[in-house]
Amino acid sequence: MYPDFSYFVAAVFGTETGGAFSLIKTFGLFLALVFVVGGFILVGEMKRKEAEGLLPAKPIERWVGKPATIWEILGNALVGFLLGFKGVYAFMNGQEMIADAASVLLSMKGNWIGGLIGAAIFGYARYWEKQREILDPPQLKTFQLRPYEQVGNLVILAAISGLIGAKLFTVIETPKALLADPVGMLFSGSGLAVYGGLIGAFIAMPFFIRRMGFKMLHIMDAAAPVLALGYGIGRMGCHLSGDGDWGIESNLADRPNWLSWLPDWTWTHHYPNNVLNEGVRIPDCAGLYCHQLEPGVYPTSVYEIIMTLTIFAILWSLRKRIKVAGVLFFIYLFLNGFERFWIEKIRVNPQYQRFGLEFSQAEVIASIFMLVGLIVGLILWRRHKAGKPVLF
């Protein structure tokens, strides 16, 4: 496994692990790739829908030539404060950053002087920029707001709301860990539930989209293939880093003969050098990550990569054929729930017992996703057949 990029470099070039490359965490790298690739595809899909007349540009009026408002200056100053607060601390505590960058960045640790200097620089930069544009008198101008031009804002909003949702759902799923160390649990870099991230983004995005004045169902359809692909890329990061997204114990002796042509690791995997340091210690291993699982487990992240990329291919092939707004997205929701529900049968997750049944939090959410996807998809289809307008 490659818990950080230095392990990949070491595997390719035979170098030692650690050093500057260890600052690049494998899961974080793939998470960044999710937003870069997803944003690129989403722009293309929204441009296509604009060309088809489904997401037309909106005329908006804005004042130009006015000085910076106090809120604009404070907003920029806040960004500068965060960059200075964390950046200076990271620079002065390089070894701590190398050991666990995510925990440093998501903790309350920082340099106050660096933060104040950053706030002053960024706040003044915004003030100076607006001063250069001042007109006498200010003018009210009309601009065309195109949906695809807002993809950057949508991606940032999805990242922030997804992070909050992921952390919140992890806290709900592991209340004992929260009670034992509330600050550490809330501000650590670990413990991010995928479904929590999805739901967090689902809750936040409609408010922004409605404020822009665009039809939300068309944007949801444009995002459906992106969500499936992003999930698959994220699972690649999970697998390569060994972040705990694995299955229950498995044994090669139980593998059916018709699967004997597959590599052994696709049935049972030991996740050596996993980022969680779970399992037994690897003999003669040096470095921060020196454990592997014994016995091996099902590599469920690999199975999910295959299934989610298949879902992406299905949605991509259907995106121009389905003409009913929203149906593509709710097909995605159903397929996502279906995939996750069955993979949970062999995944390691906290289990709940109610009404004589044993299930995980993800199984419940996956069941809801399937139900909502099926019901709402059928409602939208029937409304379209009846000639009714797009719901929202």
**Of 174 and 348, the one with more pLDDT:** 348
Q: Which of 113, 141, 169 is the last residue of a domain?
A: 141
Q: Is residue 392 part of a domain?
A: no
Q: Is the pLDDT of residue 186 over 60?
A: no
Bigger pLDDT: 137 vs 100: 137
Q: With contact defined as beta carbons under 8 Å apart, do 104 and 25 qualify?
A: no
DSSP state at residue 277: -
279: left (phi over 0), alpha (psi -120 to 50) or beta: left
Domain boundary among 93, 126, 141: 141
Structure tokens belonging to residue 50: 């604009």
Asked if the model's pLDDT at residue 166 lies above 80, the reply is no
Residue 391 resides in a domain:
no
Q: How confident is the model at residue 175 (pLDDT cuts 50, 70, 90)?
A: low
Percentage of the chain lying above the pLDDT 70 cut: 89
Partners of 281 in the beta sheet? Answer: 291
With 50 as the cut, is the pLDDT of residue 85 above it?
A: yes
Same domain, 215 and 124: no
| 204 and 118 in a common domain | no
State yes or no: pLDDT of 336 exceeds 60.
yes
Q: What is the pLDDT of residue 183?
A: 52
Which residue did the predictor score with more confidence, 168 or 70? 70
Q: pLDDT digits over 87-132, tens only? A: 898 888 876 766 666 667 767 889 999 999 999 999 999 999 999 9
Provide the whole-model pTM.
0.83
Residue 214 confidence (pLDDT) above 60 = yes
CA–CA gap between residue 351 and residue 312 (Å, rounded): 29
Q: What is the mean pLDDT of residues 64-79?
A: 93
What pLDDT, on a 0 to 100 scale, did the predictor assign at position 358? 80
pLDDT of residue 170: 67
Question: What are 5-14's pLDDT values in tens digits?
Answer: 889 988 898 8
pLDDT per residue as tens digits for the range 346-376: 998 877 777 777 888 889 889 999 999 999 9
Q: What are residue 211's phi and psi, to 5 degrees?
A: -65, -35
The whole-angstrom separation of Cα 64 and Cα 144 is 15
Is 390 inside any structural domain? no
CA 350 to chain CA mean position, Å: 22
Final residue in a domain of this structure, among 141, 156, 175:
141
Range of the domain at 23: 5-57+146-385
Burial 116-143 (b: 16+ CB within 10 A, else e): ebbbeebbeebbeebeeeeeeeeeeeee
Using the predicted structure, report yes or no on whether residue 189 has a pLDDT greater than 80: no
Pick from 238, 200, 187: which is nearest to 365 by CA?
200
With respect to residue 51, please indicate whether it lies within any of the assigned structural domains. yes
- Please, how many CA atoms are within 13 Å of residue 160, restricted to the half-sphere of its CB? 7
Task: Report percent pLDDT > 90 for the chain.
Answer: 50
- One-letter amino acid for residue 167 of the chain: K
β-strand partners of 63 = 140
